[in-house]
């Protein structure tokens, strides 16, 4: 299987999200890597580098202000363009807390095996006995990712949506 790259992730995000800035709602007219900003910096949070939920769409100017601007510059931009940087700061805090709690999200092509392994670890169902598996991810309220998945085991189909592995574990304990 081809390794998932940052550009692959950016294309997947571009194809699945509205083409507008997370902050200002300004339209993004064309695909531009400068429009994809890591909420938690990829250098300090390498395990979140290729996580869909850690990427927001911004204008190139907003991205530069996020990465290199001062608080004064951001505040001025916000006043001039009707956007509130606090929305991004709040989301960054949420992701930082998630990072610290070691909740592992893998919204990428290797997700199927990750979830099969997780189901196996939580329930002791052998991976090879999981007959079918599908998944999709979606953003709720622009900042919260939800993963929906379905799997089949011994002829019974199970479907659920969750935000983290704690929710998944609780659900699996209920149904299996």
User: Lowest mean pLDDT: which of 66-70, 103-107, 121-125?
Assistant: 103-107
Bridge partners, 37 (sequence order):
56
For the segment 21-72, what is each residue's pLDDT rounded down to a tens digit? 999 999 999 999 999 999 999 888 887 888 888 999 999 999 999 999 999 9
- Domains contained in the chain, number: 2
In a domain, 1, yes or no: no
116 and 95: one domain?
no
Does pLDDT of 4 surpass 90? no
What is the pLDDT confidence band of residue 137, given thresholds at 50, 70 and 90?
A: low
Does pLDDT of 133 surpass 70? no
What is the pLDDT confidence band of residue 142, given thresholds at 50, 70 and 90?
A: very low
68 and 39: one domain?
yes
Does pLDDT of 13 surpass 80? yes
CB 142 within 8 Å of CB 21: no
Measure the CA–CA gap between 8 and 11, rounded to whole angstroms.
Answer: 5
Indicate the residue among 80, 100, 120 that finishes a domain: 100
- pLDDT score recorded for residue 106: 41
Task: Please state whether the predicted TM-score (pTM) of the whole model is above 0.85.
Answer: no
Ramachandran quadrant class, 148 (left: phi over 0; alpha: psi -120 to 50; beta: rest): beta
85 and 120: one domain?
no
164 and 81: one domain?
no
90 and 133: one domain?
no
User: Lowest mean pLDDT: which of 21-30, 44-53, 91-100, 164-173?
Assistant: 164-173
| CATH number of the structural domain spanning residue 161 | 3.30.720
37 and 123: one domain?
no
Indicate the residue among 58, 81, 100 that finishes a domain: 100
CB 50 within 8 Å of CB 32: no
In a domain, 106, yes or no: no
54 and 133: one domain?
no
Report the share of the chain in percent with pLDDT over 70.
73
DSSP H helical ranges for the chain: 6-16, 60-68, 71-81, 85-100, 111-123, 165-175
Indicate the residue among 47, 76, 100 that finishes a domain: 100
- pLDDT score recorded for residue 105: 46
- What range defines the domain where residue 48 resides? 6-100
Measure the CA–CA gap between 82 and 175, rounded to whole angstroms.
Answer: 47
């Amino acid at each position: 299987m081809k390794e998932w790259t940052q550009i692959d992730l950016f294309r997947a995000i571009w194809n699945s999200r509205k083409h507008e800035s997370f902050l200002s709602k300004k339209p993004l007219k064309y695909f531009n890597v400068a429009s994809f900003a890591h909420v938690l910096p990829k250098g300090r949070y390498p395990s979140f580098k290729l996580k869909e939920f850690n990427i927001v769409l911004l204008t190139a100017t907003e991205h530069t202000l996020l990465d290199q601007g001062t608080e004064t510059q951001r505040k001025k931009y916000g006043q001039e363009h009707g956007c509130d940087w606090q929305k991004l700061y709040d989301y960054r805090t949420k992701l930082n807390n998630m990072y610290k709690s070691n909740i592992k999200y893998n919204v990428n092509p290797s997700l199927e095996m990750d979830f099969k392994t997780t189901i196996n670890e939580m329930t002791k169902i052998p991976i090879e006995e999981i007959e079918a598996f599908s998944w999709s991810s979606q953003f709720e309220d622009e900042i919260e990712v939800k993963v929906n998945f379905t799997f089949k085991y011994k002829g019974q189909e199970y479907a659920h949506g969750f935000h983290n592995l704690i929710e998944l574990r609780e659900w699996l304990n209920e149904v299996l």
